[in-house]
Structure 1
Amino acid sequence: MTAPREAVPSRRVRANSDGTVYQRKDGRWEAAGYVLAPGNTRKRVRVYGTTRKEALAKLTEKIVSSNRGVPIPSAQGSVSSYLTYWLEAVAVHQLRENIHTRYTACVKQYLVPGLGKKKLAKLTAKDVRTWLNQVRTTCQCCARSIDAARDQPRCCAAGACCSKRLSPLTLAYIHSVLKSALEHAVREEEITRNVARNVRTGTPRPRRFEPLTADEARQFLAAVRNDRLFALHELALRTGLRKGELLGLQWEDLDLQTGTASIRRTLQRTQTGGLTALPTKTRASERRIALPSECIHSLKEHREVQEGEREAAAEGWRDNGLVFSTPARGPIDPANLNRSFRALLDRAGLRRIRFHDLRHSTATLLLEQGVELVVIKELLGHAHIGVTATVYARVRLRLQRDAIDLLGRTLHTQTGTSNQPDDCHDRLPYTAPVR
């Protein structure tokens, strides 16, 4: 009688597509399997671990993601190389030239020095948060060697750091550029998620502005009445047009008979083309607005003056179609307009404000007169009404206080003059509007 054979422990057989797990000669465990790759293809990947369980867990995680239809990252390069590709091949076709220039400066000055050497596929939210905290607390004179390039160092190169740090608005802008680049990497299936979205920088306080009051606005218009560009400044204050929109305005855009203006372009200075007419800031910025009667009158006077300049120039006249131009019929540089605007403020005895604050003054004065936000949004050309509500939140709070005080006076009057019991005849009608 033969002795029974000893039972050999059964080895668990892994099913197809589960991959393989084995121990390497160096003692580590390696797991390999096929997962989904970009372009709806399959690719064999390998993961490693100190134990069989660790290697198997890493492989299982990739297989589960693949079964959900998420391809594995294909990015093998650094963050620096991808940012360069994104700027030169993607952003250049999607952004206006001025915005692309700012993005390029942001990438070269902050993103590449801080995160450029890291692998794009291995970038984590912790890496982004650590880098942002470092940038937030680092003196920019020291980090970018600004002081060393000066003729007379007065900061880090002189041994006395000025602690010049980035503002919260600049920090949020840098963060937004990184998010935009990584978001495109996700769309191209270079990475699986945008880790920059998981990092919160906090909401920076909006830049404070001091618009002109009604009295100051009247004082300003009276002081610039005899200026050659009076029509420009009056149009800016009464309609809230942007500086580039005013400088890019052409006579063909105006209909002085019906009193309307079509905003189709903006004049900007670019690095490659100089003063160039570009499309409006957003699609909502391309709009048609009604012109005040005062602006129609001043524009007619401005056209008469321009006709006189053309007769005086005779054959040397160059007709570029612009409503506002230099005496030599060239486009007005935005920087020159800023300088002349400051001189006009000094002549009027008013405080220094930016030219863009004329636009804020328009919206503020309209809000104080009870004009609805949606009307102001259409006039200013904001893309969303939330932009209008956010920018002028401080004015809206003051209007809320006026409304509350008005309601308080109404309730106080009702309480003090009526001694009759409250019945249906004494109640305020529910649908009565309160202005």
Structure 2
Amino acid sequence: MAKQRSNGEGTVYQRKDGRWEAAGYVLVADGTSRRTRVYGATRKEAMDKLIEKIADSNKGMPVAADATTTVADYLTGWMETVAAHKLRPTTYATYSHYLKSFIIPGIGGKRIAALTPKDVRIWLHRVRTACQCCTQGWDAARDPNAPRGRARPRCCAIGHCCEKRVAPATLQYLRGILSSALAHAVREDELPRNVATSVRLGDTRSKPFEPLTGSEARRLLNAGRGTQLGVLVELALRTGLRKGEALGLRWSDLDLEQRAMSIRQTLQRSPTGEFAFYLPKTESSKRRIALPGECITSLRAHHVRQQAEHAALGDERPRLDLVFTNTCGNPLDGPSISRAFHRLCDQAGIRRVRFHDLRHTCATLLLEQGVDLVTIKDLLGHSQIHITADVYAHVRPRLQRDAIEAMGNALNGNDENDDEDGDDDLPIPALV
């Protein structure tokens, strides 16, 4: 007969998924005793973990594990004690927004120990199919008594649902946040597995972007010529800079004599709403790239205009050394640039695209000109070449057609152009 365990030693058993689970009563932070659970690949591993927790409890050390902890409570604590120390401030603010708007309202009330893949899948399905204008109350928040010209309720609040859905990338982001938090719980033996990783989202492909054509890009450059916005647009279009990288660019980062520039920082709004400088997105984003001759010419002219504007301000102007500033010498706001860029698109007589699509246009035009993926990856600052290949997969069919035609030209050539070394006399293997 198996030896009977004494009172307080806990219990251990094998789960249906093959892992072992041990449970026992320990001291928690509020001074009471609660049942805690630990997990292991073997019976001994699970029992050793439980014995360690019980030993700490017997020494008066409270144990964090708590089977009654809700998803909302755990995520709130994870954000404060873990995420706050490893995320950039802007990323932390994004996580907080998604927790408040989607995750906690959807599954925050469930016990984290009882959360299942089905719970996560159903929650994501509801997020995917719900009109966010209705769910978040965006239209209802508008003032129905606002004066003419101001935002009044115009869709969901007055019975005309606008069916505003989340983007596929948002679903992936939501699952990624939840998965990161649950992975931490698994590492600290508070959960047996990460239930978010087994959930499949189905087709989460974003809508394909449509970069500018060469003709549209030329019209855009002509419309902005001689203005600061035009210089900014040309730089982003010819070099593929992100908006934050361009707005954070300093004159000291430019070497106009050597025709190069270094990307060392980005400009963004901090969670408090103030302008702040951050390191580039990834280590690969910190890069030095060549400057086209056209950009050097426009930057020199822009520098002369900017110095004249700043001289009129006297010594009171901010000395941030930024390439792109407002008339007072202060940093430019990203949303304001987007609105001005849309007006420039209208002026040029082309369709409206996002400012970020200038980056896509740069890569697409380079690919169509036969530039290799490695060079484009380095120019854009992607960390892995597969990112470049995946993002610009829409260009490959056209390149494949060109390659097939080039192969046809090679195989259908006449003998008059054969090399004299005789290599071309070798038979061509049959194509199977």
CA contact (8 A) 2:130 2:163 kept: yes
The 1-side partners of 2:306 and 2:40 are apart by 73
Corresponding position of 2:90:
98
The 2-side partners of 1:311 and 1:164 are apart by 48
| Residue identity opposite 1:14 in structure 2 | A
The 1-side partners of 2:200 and 2:116 are apart by 14
The 1-side partners of 2:369 and 2:290 are apart by 18
1:31 and 1:164, CA in 2 relative to 1: closer, same or farther beyond 3 A? farther
CA contact (8 A) 2:223 2:230 kept: no
Structure 2, unpaired ranges of 5+: 14-20, 26-37, 51-63, 145-152
CA contact (8 A) 1:74 1:191 kept: no
* Cα distance, 1:143 vs structure 2: 4.0
| Residue identity opposite 2:336 in structure 1 | N
Deviates more, 1:406-415 or 1:197-206: 406-415
* Cα distance, 1:149 vs structure 2: 4.1
Q: Does 1:385 align with 2:385?
A: yes
The superposition leaves residues 332-381 of structure 1 with CA deviations (integer Å, 9 ceiling, x where unpaired) of 11111112212222222221111111111110111011111111011101
Structure whose CA Rg is larger: 1
1:369 and 1:154, CA in 2 relative to 1: closer, same or farther beyond 3 A? closer
| Residue identity opposite 1:228 in structure 2 | Q
* Cα distance, 1:68 vs structure 2: 4.2
Q: Does 1:210 align with 2:210?
A: yes
The 2-side partners of 1:264 and 1:322 are apart by 12
- Pairing partner for 1:74 from 55, 58, 65: 65
SS in 2 for 1:288: strand
The 5 Å alignment of 1:182-193 reads 182-193=182-193
RMSD across aligned positions (CA): 3.3
The 2-side partners of 1:157 and 1:358 are apart by 36
Corresponding position of 1:51:
none
Corresponding position of 1:340:
340
The 2-side partners of 1:124 and 1:100 are apart by 26
Corresponding position of 2:54:
none
| Residue identity opposite 2:213 in structure 1 | T
* Cα distance, 1:129 vs structure 2: 2.0
1:233 and 1:315, CA in 2 relative to 1: closer, same or farther beyond 3 A? same
TM-score, normalised with respect to structure 2: 0.79
* Cα distance, 1:165 vs structure 2: 4.0
Deviates more, 1:333-342 or 1:212-221: 212-221
Aligned residue pairs: how many? 383
The superposition leaves residues 57-97 of structure 1 with CA deviations (integer Å, 9 ceiling, x where unpaired) of xxxx9786342468469343111100101112211222222
Corresponding position of 1:33:
11
Corresponding position of 1:231:
231
* Cα distance, 1:256 vs structure 2: 1.4
TM-score, normalised with respect to structure 1: 0.78
- Pairing partner for 1:45 from 20, 24, 28: 24
Q: Does 1:127 align with 2:105?
A: no
SS in 2 for 1:88: helix
The 1-side partners of 2:192 and 2:133 are apart by 37
The superposition leaves residues 25-51 of structure 1 with CA deviations (integer Å, 9 ceiling, x where unpaired) of xxxxx995379xxxxxx98638xxxxx
* Cα distance, 1:310 vs structure 2: 3.4
CA contact (8 A) 2:22 2:39 kept: no
1:367 and 1:84, CA in 2 relative to 1: closer, same or farther beyond 3 A? same
SS in 2 for 1:211: coil
Corresponding position of 1:56:
none
Q: Does 1:14 align with 2:2?
A: yes
The 2-side partners of 1:143 and 1:361 are apart by 35
Corresponding position of 1:396:
396
The 2-side partners of 1:154 and 1:231 are apart by 38
SS in 2 for 1:108: helix
1:144 and 1:238, CA in 2 relative to 1: closer, same or farther beyond 3 A? closer
SS in 2 for 1:267: strand
The 2-side partners of 1:160 and 1:220 are apart by 37
Corresponding position of 1:240:
240
The 2-side partners of 1:34 and 1:124 are apart by 22
Structure 1, unpaired ranges of 5+: 1-12, 22-29, 36-41, 47-60, 430-435
Corresponding position of 2:170:
170
- Pairing partner for 1:65 from 17, 32, 42: 42
Corresponding position of 1:58:
none
* Cα distance, 1:403 vs structure 2: 0.9
The superposition leaves residues 124-178 of structure 1 with CA deviations (integer Å, 9 ceiling, x where unpaired) of 2222223223333444455445555455567776566655443433222211211
Corresponding position of 2:281:
281
| Residue identity opposite 1:132 in structure 2 | L
The 2-side partners of 1:215 and 1:157 are apart by 42
The 2-side partners of 1:105 and 1:349 are apart by 37
Corresponding position of 2:407:
407
* Cα distance, 1:323 vs structure 2: 1.1
CA contact (8 A) 1:250 1:321 kept: yes
Corresponding position of 1:253:
253
The 1-side partners of 2:201 and 2:127 are apart by 12
* Cα distance, 1:207 vs structure 2: 3.5
Corresponding position of 1:88:
80
CA contact (8 A) 1:75 1:191 kept: no
SS in 1 for 2:261: strand
1:43 and 1:343, CA in 2 relative to 1: closer, same or farther beyond 3 A? closer
| Residue identity opposite 2:79 in structure 1 | L
The 1-side partners of 2:258 and 2:250 are apart by 16
* Cα distance, 1:283 vs structure 2: 1.3
The 2-side partners of 1:179 and 1:64 are apart by 21
The 2-side partners of 1:311 and 1:303 are apart by 12
| Residue identity opposite 2:100 in structure 1 | K
CA contact (8 A) 1:138 1:165 kept: yes
